[in-house]
Structure 1
Amino acid sequence: MSKFGIGGAHPGGITLTKKIFEPEKINSTTHILDVGCGTGQTAAFLSSQYGAKVTGLDVNPIMIEKAKERMTKHRLPVKIIQASIEQCPLQESSFDFILSESVLLFVDKPKALREVFRLLKIGGKLIANELTLRKQLPTANQEEIKQFYGINTLLTEKDWAELFLQSGFKNLMIRNETNSINQVQSLPEIQFSDTIEPELYGVFYQHLMIMAKYQQTFDYGIFSCTK
């Protein structure tokens, strides 16, 4: 994704992101951390739309470069930091909101959530848009998905809810969208790298095939909870 520079690769894309933040009280004093910010599409929106103090965090150097280019181009005062949410260099109790858009699935979830909890202010909110399973899959199918995406666990909505609560969060709310995970709400933004290895097109095709194969099993939920 870093080489293709896909912005809003999470379910619902930037259209859903905007919808999620509509009811939230955000202004120029609000501190927001965008975990796994990618090319910075969401971080840029939150900064330009609300004037919020936004920090983008990503572990991938190509994503970091593209996010910084975006902020420079649009003259946005968004801080972009290369680091992992599993071990974040930022100060505790710093953020009013922390956003994860299809990021927690790909990291050590308990470890990452401990960091998220540490970084949130008292009463601060985590908003996570994450893939869920409608039902448990046979082991062979789970292994196919986990090996391709490099993830260690696949969770149902109930599993996610239990994980957030076990991590110390409260006031958990779950929002489900009517659109399926494969339904595109808006065309994705793409920022191609100058060089893209030919094999990456094959990897992308494999991704599309897996999403199609498990379209009746994959779902997603928007989880919000507070510290």
Structure 2
Amino acid sequence: MNSYNYLDLLSELGINSAHPGGMERTSNMLADEPIQKGMKVLDVGCGTGETSLFLKNNYQCKVHALENHPVMLQKAKERVKNESDIEVIEGSIENMPFSDHTYDYIICESVLVFVHVKKALDECFRVLKKNGTFIMNEMAITNVLDESSLNRFKEFYCVTELNNKEQWKNKMLQAGFKRVEEMYVESITSEQVSINLSPDIDPSILELLDQHQKLQQEFERKIGHVIYSCCK
């Protein structure tokens, strides 16, 4: 029996939109953004590439999709293999292989909680153009949590750092971003993700899925999400 973690669970089940709110929320949060044809957009931690494809199809922009999980990386490459305006690149948000001041927009969905936040935000600030826009959609603490419960949640989901809304805002201000504006917040468990299970799936995956569903119920009113839009 193989040893899997939550990120492996997402990749093995082929869940396309595991970030808070899925593609519906991505569409809504980008609806009023003035992303223009030919702009350079970075989809950092792109997963299987669904947001990257949405960006290209709806805004005709040039998209770089950055991912470091090998299974997700391969699925993203397969998804966009016929898209000349999307380039899938292997790499980490903590040390991105891009020049300073490269992107007009950076989209970051359910990535920061899994990495070293300061390194990641510093890198996003570095590669964003002056007056460019950084948009993050991340898990956030929305109610009082005791340390034991928080640690259980973090351990299962491979979370490095989990903040409340005000703490997330302060992190971005400390990185140098300005005009840090919250867009909206609601529970991460209000959306149901469709999952198709194959009959020969590894039992370890089923065990992880069961734990995930139980934790989602337990933390429904304690862990939500926050979306911020920031300017460099």
Structure-1-length-normalised TM-score: 0.92
Q: Is structure 2 residue 91 aligned with structure 1 residue 83?
A: yes
Q: How many residues align?
A: 223
Distance in 2 between the 1:136 and 1:118 partners? 34
**Residues 178-221 of structure 1, C-alpha deviation per residue, up to 9 Å, x if partnerless?**
x531112x755x68899853201211221111111011111111
Aligned partners of 1:191 and 1:57: how far apart in 2? 26
Checking the alignment, whether the CA contact within 8 Å between 2:41 and 2:62 is kept in structure 1 is: yes
Q: 2:56 aligns with which of 47, 51, 56?
A: 47
In the aligned structure 2, how far is the partner of 1:68 from the partner of 1:219?
30
Partner of 2:122, secondary structure, is helix
Q: Describe the superposition over 1:68-124 as per-residue Cα deviations: whole angstroms up to 9, x where unpaired.
A: 11112x545310011100011111111011111111111000000010000100011
Structure 1 residue 218 and structure 2 residue 226: aligned? no
Instruction: Judge conservation of contact 2:29–2:183 (CA < 8 Å) in 1.
Output: no
Deviates more, 1:151-160 or 1:98-107: 151-160
Aligned amino acid, residue 149 of structure 2: N
CA-atom RMSD in angstroms = 2.0
Matches within 5 A, 1:17-32: 17-32=26-41
Residues 130-149 of structure 1: pairs in structure 2 closer than 5 A: 130-149=138-157
**1:130-189, CA deviations, whole angstroms, 9 ceiling, x for partnerless residues?**
111113411111111111122232211011011111111100000114x531112x755x
Amino acid at match of 1:197: D
Aligned to 1:199: 204
Per the TM alignment, residue 27 of structure 1 is displaced from its structure 2 partner at its CA by 2.0
CA contact (8 A) 1:48 1:76 kept: no
Out of 15, 36, 39, which is 2:24 matched to? 15
Q: Which amino acid aligns with 1:77?
A: D
**Residue 212 of structure 1: SS of its match in structure 2?**
helix
Whether contact under 8 Å (1:31, 1:94) holds in the other structure is yes
Q: Which residue of 2 aligns with 1:36?
A: 45
Query: What is the letter of the counterpart of residue 3 of structure 1?
Result: E
Q: Which ranges in structure 2 are unaligned for 5 or more consecutive residues?
A: 1-9
Q: Which moved more, 1:59-68 or 1:130-139?
A: 130-139
Counterpart CA distance in 2 for 1:152 and 1:91 is 26
Please say if 1:67 is aligned against 2:76: yes
Give the aligned residue type for 1:14.
M
**Aligned partners of 1:64 and 1:82 also within 8 Å:** yes
Residue 168 (structure 2) pairs with residue 163 (structure 1): no
The answer to whether the 8 Å contact 2:48/2:72 transfers is: yes
SS of residue matched to 1:152: coil
Residue ranges of structure 1 left out of the alignment (5+ in a row):
none
Runs of 4 or more off by more than 6 Å in structure 1? 190-195
Give yes or no for contact 1:96–1:120 (8 Å, CA) kept in 2.
yes
Question: 1:7·1:38 contact (CA, 8 Å) conserved in 2?
Answer: yes
Distance 1:55 1:195, change over 3 A: farther
SS in 2 for 1:2: helix
Question: Structure 1 residue 40: deviation in Å?
Answer: 0.4
1:48 partner letter: N
